[in-house]
Amino acid sequence: MSKPRIGLAALSATNSANSTLVAAVNRAYVDAVASAGGLPYLLPVQDCADAADVLAGVDGLLLCGGVDIDPSQYGAAGGPDIGEIDPQRDVWELALARCARAARLPLLGVCRGEQLLNVSAGGTLVRDVPTATGMNHRDTERSHQVVHDIWVEPDSLVAEVCESVHIGVNTLHHQAVERLGAGLRAVAWASDSTIEAIESTGDWLAIGVQWHPELLVGLDEGSAHRALFSWLVACAHGRRLHALPSRSSEVASHANATVLSGVPLAGRAEPGSEMERRQAS
Catalytically active residues are 111, 212, 214
Phi, psi of 138 (to 5 degrees): -120, 100
Ramachandran class of 37: left when φ > 0, alpha when ψ lies in -120 to 50, beta otherwise: left
Name residue 152's beta-bridge partners: 188
